Amino acid sequence: MVSPTPRKAPRHLQLSDLRAAAQLASQATVGVVRIAEGVHQAVWRTLGAPHGPQPGQTRGLTGLVYRAVEGSAQLLGQGAQGVLARLEPLLASADAQAPGSPQREAVLAALNGVMGDRLAASHNPLATPMALRWNGEALHWQALPPGMGNAVSGKLLLLVHGLCMNDLQWQARPGTEQVDFGAVLAARLGYTPVYLRYNTGQHTSDNGLALALQLEQLARHWPVPLQEITVLAHSMGGLVTRSAVAQARQQGGQQALQWPVYLKSIIFLGTPHHGAPLERAGHWVDQLLGATPFSAPFARLAQLRSAGITDLRYGHVLAADWEGRDPFRRTPDSRVPVPLPDGVACYTVAATTAAKRSLLADRLVGDGLVPLRSALGQHDDPARTLAFAKPAQWIAYRTHHMALLHSPAVAQQVERWLAPVPEA
């Protein structure tokens, strides 16, 4: 009897991680040098010394020393990356592309959430590309898995994760009371779960457009006739979903996208429709660090927040919400109002750590990350309020933000909303 080929254990590190780490180390060194130079120049400025070519830079021989250190760090980083890039094909084995471990994927998801826009801009191998995933694998429309057509239905459930997360975090841990939403809705309502993985550090609108285009490919290549698309979105994933629908419906003429025709329902779990105070707290750190010339250079550390995180200040959905604005400067909420999509059944689950509702709890207490009113789409400006019908709103008490992913009570409510209405 032929023994089955053993599957390679998931890796915590891959060869490309070395090159990515070298790039990050080079960038970090340059950043530290610039902070040190900024403090140096702040001291000189108190003595009346002028700055260099740019504010925060020194001049003369001192400036040349700082430029030399920066240049050396960049050259060393580029050299290391070049060597490692050449070594990768020589060292890689046939199974080098084995899936990473859940631990590695979780770290990458967190890193992309914090600085994913910078990773993508510098073409760092650690930047997460957007992908639709089925049965643990990314879908490639030119080569769909054999037999996929016999294993899927025309009822598609798309699960979209939130900030600093990935698709694996929808899975329930064995031996706990957690619920796997994809598995439950597949077993009880006949849905085929497809998971989105994306770089949460990029602008919500950029991810929304990319998702809209991905769903168009899915609608065209799904191996069985598509009947409906239902989206279950957690946290930031709800903003990305709203952005995808809004941008898809803006497409017209020959470029019009067809997948919105199949969109039947969207369920939002703890989505910060009108922003989250945690990002605003980070913004106040910017202001405090910039209050004195000696602490101002350290404001760059607080400004490591990604575009995705700064979009959470008010809940940006469209590019017009952030284009032409300094994300680290305090500005009023100037979002373009984006209502819930017409013809789509929209539901929202909001969580609160409080035991019951009250005026104070509604204003101050949320799920630990998202205020209750933001998750319910409520706003003091009627033009910005999202018109969720009363039966389409549900509050999970004594529940924190991350518990929404696996709550049995939430899963029961979602199933009630999506269950077909019995014929009379």
| Residue after which a domain boundary falls, among 34, 68, 87 | 87
Query: What are the pLDDT digits (tens) for 138-176?
Result: 999 988 888 898 999 999 999 999 998 999 999 988 888
**What CATH number is given to the structural domain containing 258?**
3.40.50.1820
pLDDT at 332: 85
Q: Which two tokens stand for residue 143?
A: 């080569």
Query: What are the pLDDT digits (tens) for 312-336?
Result: 989 999 999 999 887 767 778 899 9
State the average pLDDT over residues 396-422.
Answer: 93
Q: Is the pLDDT of residue 300 over 90?
A: no
Query: What are the pLDDT digits (tens) for 73-118?
Result: 455 445 444 544 554 454 444 344 455 678 778 878 887 887 789 8
Answer whether residue 312 is part of any domain: no
Q: Which two tokens stand for residue 27?
A: 């960038």
Do 220 and 139 contact (CB within 8 A), yes or no? no
Q: Containing domain of residue 25, as a range?
A: 17-87
CA distances (Å), 28 to each of 22, 31, 59, 73, 113, in order?
Answer: 10, 5, 22, 9, 17
Whether 229 and 356 map to the same domain: the answer is yes
Whether 256 and 369 map to the same domain: the answer is yes
State the average pLDDT over residues 186-193.
Answer: 97
Distance CA 366, CA 398 (A): 10
Number of domains the chain contains:
2
| Residue after which a domain boundary falls, among 29, 62, 87 | 87
Whether 248 and 146 map to the same domain: the answer is yes
Q: Is the pLDDT of residue 37 over 50?
A: no
Band (pLDDT 50/70/90 cuts) for residue 290 is: very low
Averaged pLDDT of the chain: 78
Return the CA Rg of the chain: 24
Q: Is the pLDDT of residue 408 over 60?
A: yes
Q: Which two tokens stand for residue 374?
A: 């933001």
pLDDT greater at residue 405 or residue 123: 405
- 3-class DSSP state of 266: strand
Put the strands of the sheet holding 263-269 in their side by side order. 137-138, 131-134, 192-197, 155-160, 228-234, 263-269, 345-352, 393-397
Distance CA 334, CA 346 (A): 24
Whether 268 and 355 map to the same domain: the answer is yes
Half-sphere exposure of 281 (CA within 13 A, CB side): 5
pLDDT at 325: 85
DSSP string for 314-351: TT--SGGGTTTS-TTS-----PPP-PPPTTSEEEEEEE
Whether 261 and 359 map to the same domain: the answer is yes
**What does the H/E/C string look like for 80-145?**
HHHHHHHHHHHHCCCCCCCCECHHHHHHHHHHHHHHHHHHHHCCCCCCCCCEEEECCEECCCCCCC
Whether 267 and 183 map to the same domain: the answer is yes
DSSP structure class, residue 419: S
Do 240 and 211 contact (CB within 8 A), yes or no? yes
Whether 218 and 346 map to the same domain: the answer is yes
Whether 247 and 348 map to the same domain: the answer is yes
| Residue after which a domain boundary falls, among 53, 72, 87 | 87
Whether 77 and 192 map to the same domain: the answer is no
Whether 172 and 226 map to the same domain: the answer is yes
Query: Helix 15-46 to helix 60-91 angle, to the nearest 10 degrees?
Result: 170
Answer whether residue 6 is part of any domain: no
Query: What are the pLDDT digits (tens) for 219-237?
Result: 999 999 999 999 999 999 9
Answer whether residue 423 is part of any domain: no
